[in-house]
A and B are shown apart, each in its own frame.
Chain A
């Protein structure tokens, strides 16, 4: 840990003095952190704000809640205000109701006397507080677990199919010599040049003919095999020496066994990368699920988020809370798998 801190706080200047390059590089890095992390932090903070707090101008970074007080004779807690001018200046009053520019207020210590206060004479008493209610209500008001299940199912199944199909294609394209190999690879990579929007309509017609509209498989199957995945794995598999495969053939391993016992374990770093990418892509996928899935029961989290945006009303507090919940799983996956991106195990064993 101490090593990590020493590493992260290295400077070019010695003995605690900062070189100008230190200022520039740290400044640049902090700017990058701000650009990338700022919006996410704002989103997280806003997801804990009440609806009123979100619309406040000027906005505040931390979520605030108005302090309230329980007064005898009233069932609900009453919001507290401090009076800054007028005849009641200096007192702390609770508001009963507001009529136009005038608020009816009472002193919590003397609840029987009703006071009339101009609303420009008072200021709300607030403190930093988190509105966890956004999160609990999201679970209560929407079938969030259903959406979560749909998203997870689509993501995991698509990723599993993608890894198996892509790695088998990559194995053939990298380790077998056959007529038309380059042509097939070109076709696979060529599909990268066709934008998804172009094939959207024909793809939808195929899915409809197969009766997969409003079915999770209608989302899974078209997005399972990706040219990027084939290309990524093929490039990695090219680095596995052919002699290892020859050795396995001499060891009487079948081609399937070579794939399963030799190629797959040795491609683990590339497969981990593809798994991370695939999970992120599928989890965040929006357009295609939006087209295929139209029933609320089949919605993914992304579609559910979209459905929170009504024509005239957007309930930002729920939307933001749900956005944070949607972000969490991919973030966790990335945290656990990212170390595989940089490690390689196939580099040794040869010479």
Chain B
């Protein structure tokens, strides 16, 4: 069983603490994605799991066994690097067999494994070439092949698709997901692209400046974000945030800073009268309707045929995006009334950023 566990893991470079105590349990066979803006420590965390980066304090365990003092090569992991890190002076075959040679695998067995993996990844005809003669996608496959051939317990991917063009990225995304299905290994995947995270992951860990913001399935994160950061980070386009104050009418309505009043959900949330809160509504939950609770001045309209996006601002200048299915008759410059159902509203405490949802 290849579970991966992190227990109050910390990392400091000198006086700068980059990982500030992370607890995480990844189940066997799970595809877990670490996502976050650049500089949030996700790659460092991955390197700490791999053993390439020593941890300052805490425990990393793989398969229930603490591996803090076990070298990178002996943890039973394989890693795919952002730059692929293929050995430039070796052929594809040598690249694939280098790791097996180092653990003294017999030659015929190496040849067998290399053939099997190259067939699986369709790189059979590239075996005698050198990395410089391969395209980006082919290099990516070879890099994955080099990881697969060693039959690791856990795969680590460090932003493997960031050097590919958009179309190839979608293809490789599908292939990595298919690979996961076929091999059934635990995989940890680092990316800054939340679309990649949403499409591939069983579980997503959202990180920000060295801290774990939320860990859960993609839909959990989308539907029940724990805080403003996760709410804004997951989902495209971004969630709309409008600040306001809870009215002293028993907590049934909210005064926005635009001096408009919004009815609040009757249950599920916990707040006090007079509390400053942030209302979050996803662009696809916000609709142009007569009698809506806010008015919005439309600045631009994107018509994609099947969908349309309206960009504009509220009375106080807060930027707002609306994503409505189908085509729209709204034109730029128009002022429209918008509204949303109370079940589509997310409420956060403005000061702490925490959700006010009651679980």
Contacts and interface: CB of A to CB of B under 8 A. Distances in A.
B89 A246 contact: no
Contacts of B187: none
Given A241-B85, A350-B84, A252 B99 contact: yes
A247 B88 contact: no
Contacts of B71: 249
A253 B102 contact: yes
B87 A244 contact: yes
Contacts of A251: 73, 98-99, 102, 146, 150
B19 interface: no
A349 B86 contact: yes
B214 interface: no
A349 B78 CA distance: 19
A254 B103 CA distance: 11
A257 interface: yes
A348 B83 contact: no
Interface SS of chain A: helix
Interface in B75-104: 77-79, 81-89, 98-99, 102-103
B131 interface: yes
Q: How large is the interface on B (under 10, 10 to 19, 20 to 34, 35 or more residues)?
A: 20 to 34
Q: How large is the interface on A (under 10, 10 to 19, 20 to 34, 35 or more residues)?
A: 20 to 34
B72 A250 contact: yes
A17 interface: no
B74 interface: yes
B83 A246 contact: no
Given A243-B81, A351-B163, A249 B73 contact: yes
11 contacts: A243-B85, A244-B86, A246-B52, A246-B79, A247-B87, A249-B52, A250-B50, A250-B52, A252-B102, A253-B73, A253-B102
Given A257-B102, A349-B88, A349-B132, A250 B83 contact: no
A247 B81 contact: yes
B106 to A, nearest CB: 16
B89 A345 contact: yes
A265 B98 CA distance: 15
B87 A248 contact: yes
Contact of A247 (B79, B89, B136, B163): B79
Given A246-B85, A247-B146, A351-B136, 19 more contacts: A241-B83, A241-B85, A243-B81, A243-B82, A244-B86, A244-B88, A246-B52, A246-B72, A247-B86, A249-B71, A250-B50, A250-B52, A251-B98, A251-B146, A252-B103, A253-B99, A254-B102, A261-B98, A350-B86
